[in-house]
Structure 1
Amino acid sequence: MESKTIIANLANLLQSCIDKKAHLLGKLLHGYILRNGLSADTFLLNRLVEFYCKCGHTRTARHVFDKIPHRNIYSWHAMLDGYCKGSNLKDAHELFAEMPDRNTVSWNTLISALVQTGFEQKALDVYGMMNLEGFVPTRFTLASVLSACGGLGDVGCGRECHGVAIKIGLDKNMYVGNALLYMYAKCRSIEDAIRAFGDLPGPNEVSFTAMMGMLAESDQVEEAFSMFRSMIRTGIRIDCVSLSSVLGVCASGGAGEFCDSSETYGFPSYMHGQQIHGLTVKLGFERDLHLINSLLDMYAKKGDMDNAEIIFSYLPEKSVVSWNIMIGGYGQRHQTDKAVEYMRRMQSQGFEPDEVTYINMLAACIKTGHIETAHQIFDRMVRPSLSSWHAMLSGYSQSKNYKEAIRLFREMQFRGVQPDRTALAIVLSSCAGMGLLEGGKQVHAASVRAMFHTDVYVASGLIGMYSKCNKIEMAICSFDRLPEMDIVCWNSMIAGLSLNYLEKEAFTLFKQMLRKGMLSNQFSYTMILSCCAKLSSLYQGRQIHAHIEKDGYVNDVFVGSSLINMYSKCGDVDRARQYFDEMPCKNIVTWNEMIHGYAQHGCGDEAVTLYEDMIESGQEPDSITFVAVLTACSHSGLVDMGTRIFNSMQLEHGVEPLLDHYTCVVDALGRAGRFDEAEVLIDNMPYKDDPIIWEVLLSACRVHANVSLARRAAEELFCLDPHNSAPYVLVANIYSSLGRWEEAKVVRQIMSDKRVLKNPGYSWVEHKNRMQVFKVDDDFRIAVDAFEEANVEMSCFNG
């Protein structure tokens, strides 16, 4: 009897050590057990195993476990649980395989540990073995398995588990019901999630919080707020967690200077955030650090840094999270100086920057173009995280400093950091930007080694890189080897074909994409409209326009701009203007396309009027705008207007004139025969060594038979571009038009001696969906016959 009392007391003392993680006291008790001959007692040794596991000493726990003379199921579970909680999954698997007897708890322990450590697929495999061995899942099993399905985005497997829950009567269990809700939310299966929520007998705060989070992530902010109101009406207790969740909804409702487009019952989500702030104070939660950080985050993400400053200054205690929110908020508003100031204050008050701090600082510097400052911060990091490498690689790539991005990628490899899909895609984009084929091939090899070459994200980068390096066959090869393709891969391949002047093949691929049931997006339509414009195929463009209206992209500003470009280049400028006027939202590209459309068709007055309307609307012109309007002035003989607009570029709009702008003005002056002004402009411009400007002047000299200036222009071109046939042909034509045949013959002889060849011109004819291309020197009858016999299928929609 006395022995049982001693064992009971020792067990209680060990339980106290377990609860408090009192390692030293537990070791003393272990010694007492050994000295008093109690090492054969399974009950005490089980407690010792549990104690050592709780203190993180799994090796000692395993040593005790191995000494237990008569292990029971609790002994095995104690050791298994210790391995699982210590994330020692290899030993956990081996121990699980050795177990003489398993029950549902054994399976649940292993499945839960696999899910919590991110091995969702392995967890599902173990669950499948559990079913094969005839074990009936419990609510804990289903909750873990549903979490694994959500993590993998495997809604099919989740639905199977849902069916099992219904079959064994656990679908109404709150624990399983909330797990179902989270699974459908993670899989973005909104209708199923709403149905699962409706099936719950009594939703609790966990259920409502999950629904609010899901609705907010799917941009259904109004519905998320409605869910919060329903939660209040139902009488569910409002706690700090639910308030933090709804503040997250407020933050996700759009950012900006109090001009949120996401409205609920007529009120912007920013105002809802202020109401939640009031409710927080009313319920007495203003000292809860997690909740106040959520409030701080809401104001920062909405761009209201003034209120964020006030809340931050009154925080009873600050955490690294609080400082990070302020740094991130100022970074989002491109106020790098304030972000740097907060980081310094943070360090001066004894807070060590963490990974989030550095990433926020890097993002702030990169957004404002302070790449060198970002690199200095990056260099101070002892062990930069993968996200930090991503931020730096992305910053250099976005600023078109491709060489530095590639150098940084190599440094990343030298440091032993394994690149992931994001890093590979960024560096492939940099290789494409530089046209660096050999570098791109090396990255391709690295992606194969890392098993990312079939990842759709990396594959899109490979397709883009090979396309821009004029290796379209390799791009097609990368595309064809993909086991699965998303819309980004299709778009990359279509863009690559178009970039390599394979518009017909791009149309064929677009047609194939539609046949496979892939839904086009705005980028697909933008690219295929560009193909129509390049081919001047109005027939195809109209059919694409019909599909755009059908798919609901007619109001997309980028698609709209592409439609204007297509109609203009296909000769229907009136339809382009009609569509332009119908567009609800226009950006600088939209205005530029329409002005350029008028320029292409010699509608100078309309182009100038539209340019003036653009400025009156508040849209600032850019360098492309001026190229378009100056081209229009040149083609329509509006020389004085063109000169006035050219002179206003820098004075009124702060746009530095470039070569294209000077070319337009020289062309306008040359067409008007005002050669003295053209010469003065050329002599004073910074681009006089560019052959284009002299070619334009030479062309004007031919029209006005200005032989002396034509000679000067031709001599400049012979020096700058000796193998260009244009100056020889133009000078010879000037002499021919003046009847100076001998001089014309001399020019052509020089051209022959220098082996300068004139490339033949090409023409094409389109009739409905048939097109024939022929050279200018083809026999006319052959060309007509070829056109009549051609059956080139150019339509994406005709069988």
Structure 2
Amino acid sequence: MKGIANLLQTCIDNKSLLLGKVLHAYILRTNLLTNTFLCNRLIELYSKCNDPTYAHRTFDNTPQKDIYSWNAVLSFYCKTGNLTFARKVFEQMPERNVVSWNNLISLMLKNGHQEKALDVYKLMVLEGFLPTHITFASVLSACGSVFDLQLGKRCHGLVIKIGLDKNIFVCNGLLSVYAKCGVMREAVQIFADIDEPNEVTFTSMMGGLGRIDGVVEALEMFRMMSRKGVRIDSVSLSAVLSVCAKGGEYDEFGCYESGDRLLRNVVLGEQIHGLAFKLGFEHDLYLGNSLLDMYAKNGIMKSAEMVFHTLGKPSVVSWNIMIAGYGQKGNSGKAIECFQRMQFSGFKPDEVTYINMLAACIKGGDVETARQMFDNMSCPSVISWNAIISGYSQNENHREAIDLFREMQFQSVKPDRTTVTVILGSCAGMAFLEGGKQVHAALQKAALHTDNYVAGGLIGMYSKCGKIERAEHIFSSMPELDIVCWNSMIAGLTLNSLNREAFMLFKQMRQGRMLPTEFSYATVLSCCTKLSSLFQGRQVHSQIVKDGYESDVFVGTALVDMYCKCGDIDGAWKHFDMMPVRNIVTWNEMIHGYAQNGYGDEAVHLYEDMIASGAKPDAVTFIAVLTACSHSGLVDLGFRIFNSMKSEHGIDPELDHYTCIIDCLSRAGHFHDAELLMEKMPYRDDPIVWEVVLSSCRVHGNVSLAQQAAQELFRLDPESSTPYVLLANIYSSLGRWDDVRVIRELMSEKQIVKDPGYSWTEDKEQDTCLFVG
């Protein structure tokens, strides 16, 4: 019998099915089937040779099954991935050992059922089985996949208790859990205690450091890996490249968050690219896709295209990365072209392809094409629904976003937290309070209203609909507040002109040790601006420098705006001049600041510097620079800039632009030119234009034009007191008191009441201590 067992083992090792069947026949003929050990070897043979029929038949015909028999057939079903039969066998087992549990946990993990695998593990421990290093390798992998840090920590305690804390597989699993959950202090401690880290150890560390943007630290880890002689494979190189891909995030203005960071990450990525080529991985598809991703996310599409063309056989993932890269740059045309080439090359788009296409079209402003893409999807997931709904919401087509949300529910697609937050934004954009209330009620029913992300959307919706008390109630009812909720509440108070309350809430947030974000600082600077409080604005500026946000373009622009509107033009220029990155809004704020503070020449020079720098002016830029020309009497220059709008920059003048240039002409006494322009422009019947003319007539004593302007205003805006007051002032300045009396009698007769004036003072002694730490 020993000889037969040895022969069966040889058949198993060599996968010799035919010889194994001959031995099986011999065992049947010699009545050796009662030997459970031989039956178990036969089940193992058929399992190894992928013969399910004979494996199960042999198991059924085994007269005396032991735990090894059950484990053999269970192992077979686990190997084939048949979860249904594996669970059935597992439940029928008269007894189980740790191997049985390990097989089922491993199978569930392979089938993507991480949560169920963890449930099986908990039941295993509850029934008194002691996990092995194989158990922990699977369970810790599942914990990392679902970010279950608490269970990972409990596993860590058990690992130490049973003495597996030096096993490399277990240590790598623990390190991976902590790294994926962003708890790098514990990950570093585990790494330091490993005597001989392998490539998995280093790859996990690099991945974890990448998640917390530790680019330099991840690269140092890679250098250490190389120095220790640990084998560098395509997976470890891909891990470094994924870290380098972290630098290409765009802000809401389409600018990179940090130019230095982008440059650093691209240079490091190019170095890894060179090393990959040197080590002979240039044809590795997995690594090739990582290179594509690194270049695409950093916006270097020419390099991405070069890598793509060198891939021997690109995969769907490769095409998806390219489409996402074009989409990130807002180049929807290139994304569509890539999508068409993908299909022409015989690749079938998957859901990621469509999501990337939706994002590309939406970012490029082509919502119509995005909708066509969406309508062609047979069964869009919630992510796809979110993408198209967000597209309409971002383009302020809130009605269509809400209609799609309703259609989504008719299609029985369950909304997630992203969906409801976007819809709350659309309800706010339409001031659709009733719709927002309905969403709120549904959220309470689904117990989602306490989710911080959703709560932030609710606070924003009620604030924008003027129901600040409801917003405050939601804010105060939250069991735990995150920075999104704080920011939403501060912004809501500011939106409702409760700037002092917003400022005090910001102070309260800092006292609670909640770290402000760029949005927090931009919002509180807006409060200082509206309160005309330079004193408090300077305090906020000091804290911004301390927290390291001074170089952020979003915060920097808010600082420029605050200094300009509080009258400290030198402070505004000082900060503007030192900003490493500026966007169109930053330029506009500084130009407008000069204009409002009477520095017309400086505003025009800055406008010219902006054009020379390659920045493209927008409609707001021209309002700012034309205002500067108007306030400083730069008539010829203003007229030249006005005429250049369409001819040089392709921008059609709007009402505000005409108002600025007419104001410029009228202030300088060029009433004839102003009248000629008013006859040609499409906004002749707008009251603001005539108010500008009437105001300038007072300065120059042009009574006839003033009377004409006043008559137009009486017709266009009969309830306004402005034309009466301005015309009366003109008459009084010329000593025409009878005419003044007539105007006042007319106001009395028509019950026109003059708006009262007011003054503003700042109390520097109040609320001076705003920050903690």
Quote the offset at 1:716 in angstroms: 2.4
Query: What displacement does 1:377 show?
Result: 1.4
Distance 1:535 1:395 in 2: 35
Contact 1:212 / 1:228 at 8 angstroms: preserved in 2? yes
Is residue 52–residue 60 contact of structure 1 (8 Å, CA) maintained in 2? yes
Which residue is equivalent to 1:279?
Answer: 278
Q: Does structure 2 conserve the Cα–Cα contact (< 8 Å) formed by 1:735 and 1:741? A: yes
Per-residue deviation, residues 212-239 of structure 1 (Å, max 9, x unmatched): 2122332222332232232222122233
Deviation, 1:417, is 0.8
Residue number in structure 2 paired with 1:556: 552
Confirm whether residue 290 of structure 1 aligns to residue 286 of structure 2: yes
Give unmatched runs, 5+ long, in structure 1.
88-111, 771-792
**How far, CA to CA, are the matches of 1:640 and 1:253 in structure 2?**
46
* Residue 650 (1) aligns with residue 673 (2): no
Matched, 1:796 2:766: no
Give 1:138 deviation, angstroms. 4.3
* Cα distance change of structure 1 residues 448 and 123 upon mapping to structure 2, 3 Å threshold: farther
Question: In the TM superposition, what is the alpha-carbon distance from 1:176 to its structure 2 partner?
Answer: 2.2
2:223 corresponds to which of 220, 225, 229: 229
Whole-angstrom CA distance in 1 between matches of 2:378 and 2:579? 52
Alpha carbons 1:539, 1:769 under 8 Å: kept = no
Q: Which residue of 1 aligns with 2:192?
A: 198
| Residue 117 (1) aligns with residue 114 (2) | yes
Q: 2:424–2:458: 8 Å Cα contact kept in structure 1?
A: yes
1:14 aligns with one of 33, 43, 48:
43
User: 685, 692, 714: which is aligned to 2:710?
Assistant: 714
User: For the residues of structure 2 that align with 1:22 and 1:423, how far apart are their CA atoms?
Assistant: 48
- TM superposition shift of 1:760: 2.1
8 A Cα contact 1:701 1:707, kept in partner: yes
**1:604: how far off?**
2.0
Name the residue aligned to 1:568. Answer: 564
Q: Return the alpha-carbon distance in structure 2 between the equivalents of residues 124 and 480 of structure 1.
A: 40
The letter of the residue matching 1:198 is: A
8 A contact 2:701–2:730 mirrored in 1: yes
Aligned partner of 2:175 in structure 1 is 181
Give the aligned residue type for 1:654. Answer: G
Distance 1:173 1:45 in 2: 29
Q: Equivalents in 2 of 1:287, 1:20: separation in Å?
A: 33
Tell me how far 1:654 sits from its aligned partner.
2.9
Code of the residue aligned with 2:403 in structure 1: it is R
Q: Cα gap change, 1:683/1:125 in structure 2, threshold over 3 Å: closer, same or farther? A: farther
Q: Quick one: structure 1 residues 612 and 124, their matched pair in 2 at CA, closer, same or farther if it must change by over 3 Å?
A: farther
Partner of 1:725: 721
Q: Describe the shift of the 1:280–1:358 C-alpha distance in structure 2 as closer, same or farther (beyond 3 A).
A: farther
Query: Structure 1 residue aligned with 2:242, among 242, 248, 255?
Result: 248
What letter corresponds to residue 115 of structure 2 in structure 1?
A: G
Alpha carbons of 1:666 and 1:307: their partners in 2 closer, same or farther (altered >3 Å)? closer
Deviations 1:68-109 (A, max 9, x none): 7xx2335x985x77876775xxxxxxxxxxxxxxxxxxxxxx
Contact 1:213 1:249 in 2 (8 A): yes
CA shift at 1:619, angstroms?
Answer: 3.1
* CA distance in 2: counterparts of 1:403 and 1:553, whole angstroms: 37
1:243-283 deviation line (CA, Å, top 9, x unaligned): 333343444454899998448999812421331331342xx
Counterpart Cα distance in 1 of 2:423 and 2:59: 57
* Structure 1 counterpart of 2:343, one-letter code: Q
Comparing 182-191 with 47-56, greater Cα deviation is found at: 47-56
Is contact 1:573–1:598 with CA below 8 Å preserved after alignment?
yes
Q: Equivalences for 1:144-543 in 2 at 5 Å?
A: 146-147=140-141, 150=144, 161-252=155-246, 254=248, 261-262=260-261, 268-281=267-280, 285-303=281-299, 305=301, 308-309=304-305, 311-313=307-309, 315-543=311-539
Shift in Å, 1:420: 0.7
Distance 1:693-1:215 versus aligned 2 partners, 3 A rule: same
Residues 442 and 124 of structure 1: is their aligned pair in 2 closer, same or farther, counting only changes over 3 Å? farther
Identity rate, percent: 55
| Counterpart contact for 1:253–1:269, Cα < 8 Å | no
Identify unmatched segments of 5+ residues in structure 2. Answer: 1-29
1:56 and 1:183 mapped to 2: Cα distance? 25
Q: For 2:562 and 2:43, locate their aligned partners in 1 and report how far apart those are by CA, in whole Å.
A: 80
CA drift of 1:727 comes to 1.9
Give the Cα separation in 1 of the matches to 2:164 and 2:69. 36
Mapped partners of 2:67, 2:117: distance in 1? 34
Report what 1:693 is aligned to: 689
Return closer, same or farther for 1:556/1:327 CA change in 2, 3 Å cut-off: closer
Letter in 2 for 1:201: D
CA 1:20–1:390: 2 relative to 1, 3 Å: farther
Residues 159-168 or 524-533, more deviating: 159-168
User: What is the root-mean-square deviation in Å for CA atoms of aligned residues?
Assistant: 3.7
Give yes or no for contact 2:283–2:312 (8 Å, CA) kept in 1: yes
The amino acid across from 1:229 in the alignment is: R
Q: Which is further off, 392-401 or 326-335?
A: 326-335
For residues 632 and 507 of structure 1, the distance between their equivalents in structure 2, rounded to whole angstroms, comes to 32
Q: Distance in 2 between matches of 1:709 and 1:715?
A: 10
Q: What aligned pairs does 1:23-38 form with structure 2 within 5 A after superposition?
A: 23-26=52-55, 29=58, 33=61, 38=63
Tell me if structure 1 keeps the 8 A contact 2:81–2:111: no
Change (3 A) 1:192 1:561: same
TM-score, structure 1 normalization: 0.83
1:480 offset after TM fit, Å?
A: 1.4
Change in 2 beyond 3 A, CA 1:514/1:647: same
Task: Map 1:48-63; keep pairs closer than 5 Å.
Answer: none
What secondary structure, in the 3-state scheme, does the structure 1 residue paired with 2:674 have? helix
Question: What displacement does 1:403 show?
Answer: 2.1
Q: Tell me which amino acid in the other structure corresponds to 1:185.
A: A
Q: 1:486 & 1:188 partners in 2: Cα distance?
A: 17
The residue aligned with 1:773 is none
SS of aligned partner of 2:759: strand
Q: Is the CA contact (8 Å cut-off) linking 2:600 and 2:631 kept in structure 1?
A: yes
Give the structure 2 partner of residue 677 of structure 1: 673
Question: SS of 2:762's equivalent?
Answer: strand
CA contact (8 A) 1:769 1:794 kept: yes
> In the alignment, is the contact (CA less than 8 A) between 1:115 and 1:147 conserved in 2?
no
Any conservation in 2 of the 1:320–1:353 contact (CA below 8 Å)?
yes
Deviations 1:616-646 (A, max 9, x none): 3433332222222221222222222222222
Contact 1:339 1:364 in 2 (8 A): yes
* Aligned partner of residue 365 in structure 2, secondary structure: coil
CA contact 1:14–1:47 (8 Å) conserved in 2: yes
Aligned positions of 1:655-666 closer than 5 A: 655-666=651-662
Write the distance in 2 (CA, Å) between the matches of 1:136 and 1:38: 30
Distance 1:350 1:25 in 2: 40
Q: Secondary structure at the match of 1:763?
A: coil
Q: 2:267 corresponds to which letter in structure 1?
A: P
Q: Tell me which residue corresponds to 2:7.
A: none
Deviation for aligned residue 1:505: 0.7
User: Shift in Å at residue 24 of structure 1?
Assistant: 4.1
**Do the aligned residues in 2 keep the contact of 1:707 with 1:734 (CA within 8 Å)?**
yes
Residue type of the alignment partner of 2:238:
S
How far, CA to CA, are the matches of 2:696 and 2:385 in structure 1? 54
Distance in 2 between the 1:194 and 1:455 partners?
Answer: 31
Instruction: Evaluate the alpha carbon distance shift between residue 632 and residue 121 of structure 1 in structure 2; reply closer, same or farther with a 3 A threshold.
Output: farther
Give the superposition deviation at 1:418: 0.8
| Greater Cα offset, 572-581 or 662-671 | 572-581
The answer to whether the 8 Å contact 1:637/1:668 transfers is yes
Q: Are the aligned partners of 1:540 and 1:769 in contact in 2 as well (CA < 8 Å)?
A: no
SS in 2 for 1:769: coil
